[in-house]
Amino acid sequence: MNKAPILITSNLNKNFGNQPVLENINFEVKKGEKIALIGENGTGKTTLIKIISGLLKPTSGIVQIDECDMHNNNIEKPAIGICIDELMLEQRLSVFENLEFYAKLMPIKNPTNEIGKLLEIFACNHIVNAQIDLLSSGMQQRINLIRSLLNIKEQKILLLDEPTKNLDHNSKKTLMNKIFCKDDLTIIVATHDIDNISSWASKIIEIKNNKIEIKEI
């Protein structure tokens, strides 16, 4: 029996001023699929991630996650995770304070326990009280990833924009082995790190000339 799609994009278009960035984008993602979103710099990968998440409105078209229109402000949206290249952390707060703030916005039964588990997975226990702006770019990226994973058990989809940027080898390995390989997790990853795509992705979506090409792996 075929799985119903968890994500549907229908006739998506996005212009910035008179400049088209995405044209007639149509694709579906089923539960458990792992999508590698690739393309040259400036082709619209981050734009598409933001549109799917609801952070950015398309010029036209519809995004549905779990049958909910992500750009209808009058309905409750499904839980998603998102990590984009723009650091979504308060620089003057500690690692724990940042994660606790986001966790309290989510229906997590034991946020302190969940934060502790993720800090351990990404080997960040020792920096729990460190101020964000004093951390290296690699450590900041780890914490940004952890923030996006706090409600992973409730997420319908996880959207990651260049998640391996600034990560060391061990952190990349952790991301692949602990997150990308979860069978029931639906993920879209915008990435330039294409060498290992075949080890985790089930499908490639390439943005080229404002349109997409879909390739099965």
Q: What is the largest CA-CA distance in the chain?
A: 51
Neighbours of 57 (CB within 10 A): 13
CA distance 24 to 100: 39
CA distances to 108, 117, 123, 129, 214 from 113, in Å: 10, 6, 15, 16, 39
In the chain, the domains with their CATH numbers are 1-78+157-162+183-217 (3.40.50.300), 87-155 (no CATH)
Residues 212, 23 contacting (CB under 8 angstroms): no
Claim: this prediction has a pTM higher than 0.85:
yes
The three-class DSSP label of residue 12 is strand
How many other β-carbons are positioned within 10 Å of the β-carbon of residue 209?
A: 10
Alpha carbon distance 147, 150 (integer Å): 6
Predicted confidence at residue 85, as pLDDT, reads 80
Looking at the DSSP bridge assignments, the partners of residue 119 are none
Q: Measured in Å, how far apart are the chain's first and last C-alpha atoms? A: 20
Each residue's pLDDT, cut to its tens digit, for the chain (217 residues) gives 467 899 999 999 999 999 999 999 999 999 999 999 999 999 999 999 999 999 999 999 999 999 999 999 999 999 999 999 877 899 999 999 999 999 999 989 899 999 999 999 999 999 999 999 999 999 999 999 999 999 999 999 999 999 999 999 999 999 999 999 899 999 999 999 888 899 999 999 999 999 999 999 8
Rg (CA), the chain: 17
pLDDT of res. 46: 97
Q: Which of 98, 99, 130, 93 is nearest to 114 (CA)?
A: 99
